[in-house]
Amino acid sequence: MRNRSIGEGERLENEWAEIDPLSGYDLDVERMKHLIYDTYRYFREKRSDDYISRSDLPIYKYIGQFIKFDYYPDNIPASSFHALTDFACGLCVEIETGFKAGYLEESIVLGCQNDMSPGSAHVEVDMSCYGSFEEGFEKDRIYFRDLYDETEE
């Protein structure tokens, strides 16, 4: 049997497809952060001003399915879940706009799930490296932690 390695797009599609919010589920926050960042890098490198490749539409669909469910995972605090969905929403906006939603060269715009009206202020997170993404994620998570009055574990 030949060792067949799957492409990055197929890997991302498979990982997003594994998230099943309907049947009670657990999320690994670190794995999800890497999935969001890897998906950002993948689409940014393939970006086009006017379309998403047909072969990449399933990835986009699975991101949208993750965003639309209000079922919290069984194993993480609400603040972590909301930070993940905030970044997933921002990821969709970046894909939809050809990575032109923010002011920074490589960024993701947060706060899109609640209000994407023109002129509204949004937080922008530098996505040029995983470290800056992780720092922005932690700030977003803390914002939601404070919003929900959660105690630090």
Q: Could you tell me the residue ranges of all domains in the chain? A: 8-147
Global pTM value: 0.87
Other CB atoms within a 10 A radius of the CB of residue 34 amount to: 15
**147: nearest Cα among 90, 63, 69, 77:** 77
**pLDDT of 98:** 87
Three-class SS state of 111: coil
Does the pLDDT at position 5 exceed 70? no
Say if residue 81's pLDDT is above 50.
yes
Question: Which tokens is 94 given?
Answer: 């970046």
Q: Who's near 17: CB < 8 A, 6+ residues apart?
A: 58, 62
Q: How far apart are CA 35 and CA 110, in angstroms?
A: 17
Confidence of residue 24 (pLDDT cuts 50, 70, 90): low
Digit-coded pLDDT (tens) for 87-115: 999 999 999 888 888 888 899 999 866 55
